[in-house]
Amino acid sequence: MKKVLITGITGQDGSYLADMLLEKGYKVYGMVRRSSVEKLDRIEHIRDKINFVQADLLDQLSIITIIKQVNPDEVYNLAAMSFVPTSWSQPVLTGEFTGIGVTRMLEAVRLVNKDIRFYQASSSEMFGKVKEIPQTENTPFHPRSPYGVAKVYGHYITVNYRESYDIFAASGILFNHESPRRGLEFVTKKVTNAVAKIKLGLLDYLYLGNMDSKRDWGFSKDYVEAMWLMLQQDKPDDFVIATGESHSVKEWVQASFECLGMDWEKYVKIDQKFIRPAEVDLLVGDSSKAQKVLGWKPKVNFDQLVKIMVEYDYNQLKKANNI
């Protein structure tokens, strides 16, 4: 039985990855940090099947200890401070978690067992002010937030440990991916949740920031499959994972309201507090390398994703409010 250690198992991607690896017959270990209240909502349905180990990205010895204890075949490093606006209010902490945290993970792998295969959750935010359209594995980076800068560090330290120590370290450059399990503050989930609330009479208006930026939105469940495929190859490499389609925030809003038969313009207002100090205007990825080498391709498109998320939020809220 193969053993896997997932950092960030309580997050959106960690939960879908755990679902998938349990189905594949892996023994799943999840790294969690100490908290005064449990935050296992996304993995409640599989909590009895997961072996929890406690460590923190800030604490080198705790990471070495759990890697020694588990001695996994594969490590997926998904833990990070992942919300872009918070990276301006907590830039140093973001650097520690999202940047240096990767080095701590790689150091632990290097010290304990160099045969462990390592996946790093890199991000399309690294492209930022994009140098070409669409973005590929060879597009130069120009990050636009402390989060993006930290991810560039995490990406290159992963490449460096691969080249310096011959560690099987792969980096997935994933474009935005969403799901019903997405955190409430991210724009897709914020919108679908508000649409459902407005339809049910639980909310009057939705306040947003820049509605003109464009994103390449995919489905998290499709994307965790690409992570796994990267660690099953003969050699480690970097891969862009994207749908190749780009839509504006406004299009997401319009499609979400239309899903429940409403006109978005009656309910959406702009609030300056959601405008960022620097914006990433346009992201669209070219995943042809992943399609060719990994045999991966996205299954869920933009319209299907909107529908999945709106219907989920509507049904959940209806049930929770006895409507």
Active-site positions read: 123, 125, 147
Residue 276 in contact with ligand F7E, rule: CB under 6 A? yes
Q: Considering CB distances under 5 to 8 angstroms, the limit depending on partner class, which of ligand F7E, ligand NAP, none binds residue 97?
A: ligand NAP
Tell me which stretch binds ligand F7E (CB under 6 A): 89-97, 192-200, 207-215, 291-299.
Answer: 207-215
Footprint of ligand NAP (CB under 6 A)? 7-8, 10-14, 33, 39, 56-58, 78-82, 97, 121, 123, 174, 176-177, 183
Residue 187 in contact with ligand F7E, rule: CB under 6 A? yes
Residue 247 in contact with ligand F7E, rule: CB under 6 A? no
CB-wise, 183 or 318, nearer to ligand NAP? 183
Cα(172)–Cα(155) distance, integer angstroms? 9
CB-wise, 123 or 254, nearer to ligand F7E? 123
Cα(21)–Cα(13) distance, integer angstroms? 12
Q: Considering CB distances under 5 to 8 angstroms, the limit depending on partner class, which of ligand F7E, ligand NAP, none binds residue 12?
A: ligand NAP
CB-wise, 199 or 218, nearer to ligand NAP? 218
**Alpha-carbon separation of residue 300 from 173, 189, 195 (angstroms):** 18, 16, 21
Site residues (CB under 6 A) for ligand F7E, limited to 6-45: none
Cα(197)–Cα(190) distance, integer angstroms? 11
Q: Considering CB distances under 5 to 8 angstroms, the limit depending on partner class, which of ligand F7E, ligand NAP, none binds residue 187?
A: ligand F7E
Total chain residues near ligand F7E (CB under 6 A):
22
Site residues (CB under 6 A) for ligand F7E, limited to 86-115: none
CB-wise, 110 or 276, nearer to ligand F7E? 276
* Tokens at 323, concatenated: 């409507």
Q: List residues binding ligand F7E (CB under 6 A).
A: 82, 84, 123-125, 175-176, 185-188, 190, 208-211, 213, 215, 249, 274, 276, 279
